[in-house]
Amino acid sequence: MTISETIIISLITALVTALITAYFAYLFGFKQYLKQKRREEIRVYYIEEGLDRIIVAIEEASFNCQFNFGKAARILEYLEKFSEIDKELAKSLILKIFSEMRPVITAPPDALYKLQLITGKGYQPISTWVIETLADYLNFYHFLKYELLGEIELYFRNVEKFKGKEKNFTTELMKRINEVFNQVIVRNEPIKVHLFNLKIRIDELEISSMEDFDKKIPKDQRIKEILDEIERNYKKFKTQDKNAKNAS
């Protein structure tokens, strides 16, 4: 074999080796890309369009409840302050504040369905608690928009009957508002913490395929602990509700 032939063979060997190396590097990189892409798709579908939307819905509903509670307190303040001076002014201000209250929007059904897929059928309390939480926030909004508004309208229609009793009237109304508000907020505050913890742990698992999703989540000890704690808290609240009803 001549020197030129040796050089040519060496060059061809080096080129083939480089091409093979480049091919496997590309193949590995492409597989990693697909894995990352699939991970992002799963995260978008189950977390961003599922768990995240539920967390946002609960946070917004909770904020709106607190916002509306502040509006209700202002309504009673104006009722007490202005009704003896100028009842028409008081009524006008109060109705304006009622119109500024923010509605409560529930979580979309598909997000609740995805939450159930994440937790599995064995942990029904989490979905039930989410639904009841949003229902509680909605009921508080309705309590203010209809029951409180009804009480205020009754007051303005029968002003003479309340003469000299305005302070007692507003005090009793504020007491009822506080009772309903505290029950709604205290009862449902833990579910927000549980949902955040669940989201954090799922992100830590770095799920990149549906196979990972089906295997890692049901077997993960931390997720089991979170779901078990949710179930215990939910049963505790239901027992408290039952005892309260029996006591009344």
Give residue 122's pLDDT: 65
Cα dihedral sign, 209-50-192-126: negative
| Phi, psi of 220, deg, nearest 5 | -75, 125
Give residue 148's pLDDT: 92
Give residue 35's pLDDT: 56
Work out the angle at residue 208's Cα, subtended by the Cα atoms of residues 194 and 41, and round it to the nearest 5 degrees.
80
Contact 82, 93 (CB under 8 A): yes
Give pTM, 2 decimals: 0.76
Walking along the chain (248 residues) 10 residues at a time, the average pLDDT comes out as: 56 54 49 55 69 88 93 89 75 90 80 77 78 91 92 85 80 92 87 89 77 76 89 85 73
Report how far residue 130's alpha carbon sits from residue 188's, in angstroms, rounded to the nearest whole number: 9
Neighbours of 52 (CB within 10 A): 16
Give residue 27's pLDDT: 46
Q: Domains of the chain: which residue ranges?
A: 38-240
Give residue 105's pLDDT: 80
